[in-house]
């Protein structure tokens, strides 16, 4: 069974970064390549630009608009063609490492092509729906609360805050005046489940009834006075809200299982033993 957390984390990558493909992996090439430039008689086409764009990825300056991006890629291809021609003239393709590098990149491109096909075949409406439904069934509802707090340095300050609140003063006003947590507006922490906050804070907050003011609570951050504003049960998000996460999970799971299947049926001989995992660090003695 899978859960929302597993959908968010994605499938095990088996140490292979290539298993993570973006939408470009499914982009179909144009039916007929358009020649955009020639360099000493060598054509540069829109197909070449598409391949270059996939290769460069995030290295293309993000501030470029569509026209400038196209020009950037065209200039990149023109320069690359000129430099590559120079390399041929200097017979650098006949160097001892060139054939090895060429073989490596050929294998890499073939690997990416196979894994892209695996991904495309896995992403079907039926598979996405089943994955989502399985995750939704496995996700048990949890209690979550909407709370706010005021964080101060000492117990005495927290007791003074508690007294002012129970006398009827405005919570948000005191929070904005005194709280060390300047990142929350009026002390508002929004909605959260128990595991999202430190244990001492959770133990105190989740015991409160709606509207109650807590006694001072000590955590590693200081002293808190907490008020719970509302309580509800978590709801599994709708499919459209997490479709991208479901898709990524399905792709990575299919690719991982495919590679693991190839490994299982292959004869792999390591000339060097695989490194042993590090020994677990013993927990310190409790005093």
**Residue 99: is it exposed, middle or buried by C-beta count within 10 angstroms (0-12/13-18/19+)?**
exposed
pLDDT of residue 283: 60
Confidence of residue 25 (pLDDT cuts 50, 70, 90): very low
Contact predicate 145/214, CB 8 Å: no
How many CA atoms within 13 Å lie on the side-chain side of 256? 15
The reported pLDDT for the residue numbered 235 is 85
pLDDT digits (tens, 9 = 90+) for 36-79: 999 999 999 999 999 999 999 999 999 999 999 999 999 999 99
**Mean pLDDT, range 134-149, rounded to an integer:** 92
Average pLDDT, whole number, for the chain?
88
Is the per-residue pLDDT at 162 higher than 60? yes
Domains of the chain: 23-124 (no CATH), 143-233 (3.10.50.40)
3-state secondary structure (DSSP) of residue 14: coil
Please provide residue 97's backbone torsions phi and psi, each rounded to the nearest 5 degrees.
-95, -15
Q: Is the pLDDT assigned to residue 180 strictly greater than 50?
A: yes
Rounded to whole angstroms, how far apart are CA atoms 147 and 184? 11
What pLDDT is stored for residue 16 in this prediction? 38
Q: Is pLDDT of 17 > 90? A: no
Average pLDDT score over residue span 19-23: 40
* Spatial distance between the Cα atoms of 14 and 92, rounded to a whole number of angstroms: 36
- Please give the pLDDT value at position 287: 43
> How far is it, in rounded angstroms, from Cα 239 to Cα 236?
9
pLDDT, mean of residues 209-221: 97
- For residue 7, what pLDDT is reported? 58
Q: Identify the top-confidence range among 21-25, 206-210, 278-282.
A: 206-210
Q: Is the predicted pLDDT of residue 22 greater than 50, yes or no? A: no
Contact 249, 6 (CB under 8 A): yes
Sequence-separated contacts (24+) of 107-115 with Cβ below 8 Å: 108/18, 111/18, 112/18, 112/21, 112/25, 115/18, 115/19, 115/21, 115/255, 115/258, 115/259
Phi, psi of 206 (to 5 degrees): -80, -5
**Predicted local distance difference test score (pLDDT) of residue 167:** 96
Residues belonging to the chain: 287
Which pair of tokens denotes residue 69? 């991006």
> Sorting pLDDT into bands at 50, 70 and 90, what band is 2?
low
């Amino acid at each position: 069974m899978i859960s929302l957390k597993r959908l968010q984390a994605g499938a095990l990558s088996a140490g292979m970064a290539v298993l993570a493909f973006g939408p470009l992996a499914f982009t179909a090439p144009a039916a007929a390549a358009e020649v955009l430039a020639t360099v000493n008689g060598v054509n540069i086409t829109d197909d070449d630009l598409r391949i270059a764009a996939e290769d460069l990825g995030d290295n293309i300056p993000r501030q470029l608009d569509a026209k400038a991006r196209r020009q950037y890629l065209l200039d990149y291809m023109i320069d690359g063609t000129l430099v590559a021609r120079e390399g041929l003239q200097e017979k650098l393709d006949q160097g001892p490492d060139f054939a090895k590098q060429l073989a490596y990149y050929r294998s890499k491109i073939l690997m990416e092509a196979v894994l892209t096909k695996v991904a495309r075949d896995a992403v079907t409406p039926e598979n996405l729906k089943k994955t989502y439904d399985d995750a939704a069934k496995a996700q048990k509802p949890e209690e979550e609360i909407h709370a706010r707090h005021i964080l101060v340095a000492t117990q005495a300050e927290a007791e003074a805050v508690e007294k002012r609140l129970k006398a009827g003063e405005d919570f948000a006003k005191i929070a904005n005046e005194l709280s060390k947590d300047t990142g929350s507006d009026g002390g508002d922490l929004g909605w959260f489940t128990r595991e999202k906050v430190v244990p001492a804070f959770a133990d105190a907050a989740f015991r409160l009834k709606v509207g109650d003011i807590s006694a001072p609570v000590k955590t590693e951050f200081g002293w808190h006075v907490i008020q719970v504003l509302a309580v509800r049960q978590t709801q599994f998000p709708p499919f459209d809200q997490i479709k991208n996460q479901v898709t990524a999970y399905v792709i990575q799971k299919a690719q991982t299982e495919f590679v693991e299947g190839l490994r299982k049926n292959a004869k792999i001989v390591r000339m060097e033993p695989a490194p042993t995992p590090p020994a677990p660090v013993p927990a310190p003695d409790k005093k």
